Each structure stands twice: as C-alpha cells, then as structure tokens.
C-alpha cells in the first residue's frame, strides 16, 4: 500500500516508516524541513512538504494514498488542551479525504482512554466520550468520522520507549536532573504501562494490514510498572536521592507533569494480541532506562 504518514520523522513515526518500508509498503512522509526530507529519502521513503497546521496540505497528501497513518502530535504540554483540540481538527481533515472509500485512517490516542474508572486496567473495547483527559478529543474526532462511514482505527499508546527516549518518563528524568531528586507520589503504587518502540511500530503495521474498521488497539507490552520502581531507577541512574512526596507537594514539584504523576495508567493488550497476533519482544521499560544510564 501507499501510505500517507504524519509524524514520519518523529520518535514513533520514523520507526513506523522503517517498519512499513521493510514490509514492502510505500511511504509518503509528511515533513516540514529540509532535514526531514533528507532523512526520509535516506530511508527510501518519499517526502511530502507540509505541516499539521496546514489542513489543506494534509488533505492533498492523503488524496492519492491507499491509507493514512497519523502519528504527529504537538507535545508541548503547557498547551495540552489547545493541542488536543488542534488534533481533532487534523483528524477531521484527514478523514474527510477518505470518506466514501474503504481506505483506512489510523489515528493515535493513549491507553488511559480505555480505563473505565481510576485505577482500572484499560481495555481496548472501552471508550468513555466524557473522559476528563483532553486527549479524548482524538477519539471523539475518530468516532464522528466512523459514524460517517470512514474506516477509522485507533492506536492507543502506552509509554513508548527505547534506550534514548521513554515517553513521559523522559520528562521525569529531566525533572530529576533539574531538581536534584527523583520523586514519586505517596507510596508510589501507581503503575504505568509501556511498550518498546520497535514493537509499537510493528503493531501499527499489523493494524494497517489486519484491522477491523472501528477497532481500538493497545501498544502495551508491560501492563504496569510501579511508579516507585521507575523513580528508583532514575534516581540510581542520576545519582540523586529517590523521595516520596505528598499529593500537596507533588503539584509544586512536578509542574505540568503533575497531571500525570500519581495517576495509575495500567492497560491490557490481551485483545490486541489475540486479534492481530501481536507478540512484543523488545526490552522492558526499566531495562531500557538502565541502558540509558549505562547501567
């Protein structure tokens, strides 16, 4: 298939590019820079100059492709709500091009969207349109397109990692380096789910090739790693103390990260594995963290 891929030079998207090309697909990768063009050409992909802010360029990029995979997202969390609203507009623009066809649109969300209540393990088949996380805008936009007959597939991500980056955990590392302590909230019993970058890219390909319209899939290799264990590995790696904070102290310490710190984000991928035959094989999150610190 010829696939229009947004975020094609990003952390997840660049690995999806490699995975698709290796499987014999063609990739038309959205990029806004000369460096991005060179990177895509070096991989064997075709570059398409554009920007997620330019909805017209997105529609033109998607027009002559067999499928669209949307991995781009503005990760400036100081403007999280606005960026989620922007994401909704991007998904609507891409879906409008595919309306009236069977061409799939794979959009990207996060596994907490599948949790029915705080602390409950996220499930692929659950979706609460009134979810308080602003990222719900992505799935609401996809749901609206599905109701118009667009072949939408939702890819929900956990903490996606390799030795260089580890999702939100990377921000915890930066914070610990800045503050001189690696912190967790309360007893640190909350858990975050995770998946290796290469396994995640493989899941995107499997979903492209084997999906059911309207399906939701979880990129979750590890259902839950305890927050205290994550903080301890960071503290050991940086050589700083690992400390527990009260919920009152957490807001001042974590800043924008406070909306995630102390939250349980466990997720299951049992249905994803059964439905797509996905078998993650990569290293675990803590192993990649230790590699990051040279341990």
Q: What is the pLDDT of residue 75?
A: 78
Token look-up 């904070």 returns 245
| Predicted TM-score of the model (pTM) | 0.96
Please write the tens of the pLDDT for every residue from 64-80.
999 999 999 987 877 88
Q: What is the pLDDT of residue 153?
A: 98
Q: What is the pLDDT of residue 210?
A: 97
The three-state DSSP-derived secondary structure of 28-90 is: EEEECCHHHHHHHHHHCCEEEECCCCCHHHHHHHHHCCCEEEECCCCCCHHHHHHHHHHHHHH
Q: What is the pLDDT of residue 118?
A: 84
Going by C-alpha positions, the residue among 204, 178, 172 that lies closest to residue 77 is: 172
Q: What is the number of other CB atoms lying within 10 angstroms of the CB of residue 5?
A: 31
Q: Is 133 exposed, middle or buried (0-12, 13-18, 19+ CB in 10 A)?
A: middle
Secondary element (H or E) of residue 153: strand 151-157
Q: Which residues of the chain have pLDDT under 70?
A: none
Q: Tell me how far apart the terminal alpha carbons of the chain are, to the nearest angstrom.
A: 42
Please write the tens of the pLDDT for every residue from 227-265.
999 999 999 999 999 999 999 999 999 999 998 999 999
Q: What is the pLDDT of residue 74?
A: 85
- Pairwise CA distance, residues 200 & 220, whole Å: 8
Q: How far is CA 190 from CA 26, 97, 157, 249, 274, in A?
A: 41, 41, 18, 17, 27
Please write the tens of the pLDDT for every residue from 131-153.
888 999 999 999 999 999 999 99
Whether 79 and 132 have beta carbons less than 8 Å apart is answered as no
Strands 182-185 and 191-196: unpaired
- Pairwise CA distance, residues 172 & 250, whole Å: 12
Q: What is the pLDDT of residue 228?
A: 98
Q: Is 68 exposed, middle or buried (0-12, 13-18, 19+ CB in 10 A)?
A: buried
């Amino acid at each position: 298939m010829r696939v229009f891929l947004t975020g094609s030079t990003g952390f997840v998207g660049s690995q999806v590019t490699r995975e698709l090309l290796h499987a014999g697909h063609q990739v038309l990768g959205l990029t806004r820079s000369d460096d991005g063009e060179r990177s895509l050409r070096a991989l064997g992909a075709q570059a398409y100059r554009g920007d997620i802010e330019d909805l017209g360029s997105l529609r033109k990029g998607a027009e002559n492709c067999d499928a669209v995979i949307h991995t781009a997202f503005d990760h400036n969390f100081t403007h999280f709500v606005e960026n989620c609203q922007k994401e909704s507009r991007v998904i609507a623009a891409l879906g409008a091009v595919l309306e009236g066809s069977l061409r799939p649109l794979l959009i990207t969300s996060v596994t907490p969207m599948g949790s029915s209540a705080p602390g409950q393990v996220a499930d692929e088949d659950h979706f609460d349109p009134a979810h308080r996380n602003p990222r719900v805008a992505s799935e609401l936009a996809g749901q609206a397109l599905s109701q118009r007959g667009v072949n939408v597939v939702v890819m929900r991500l956990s903490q996606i990692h390799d030795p260089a980056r580890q999702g939100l955990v990377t921000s915890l590392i930066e914070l610990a380096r800045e503050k001189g302590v690696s912190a967790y909230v309360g007893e640190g019993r909350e858990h975050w789910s995770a998946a290796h970058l290469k396994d995640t890219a493989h899941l995107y390909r499997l979903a492209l090739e084997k999906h059911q319209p309207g399906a939701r899939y979880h990129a979750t290799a590890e259902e839950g790693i305890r927050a205290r264990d994550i903080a301890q590995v960071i503290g050991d790696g940086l050589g700083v103390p690992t400390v527990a904070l009260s919920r009152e102290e957490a807001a001042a310490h974590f800043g924008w990260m406070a909306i995630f710190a102390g939250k349980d984000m466990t997720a299951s991928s049992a249905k994803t594995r059964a439905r797509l035959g996905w078998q993650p094989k990569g290293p675990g999150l803590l192993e990649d963290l230790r590699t990051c610190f040279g341990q």
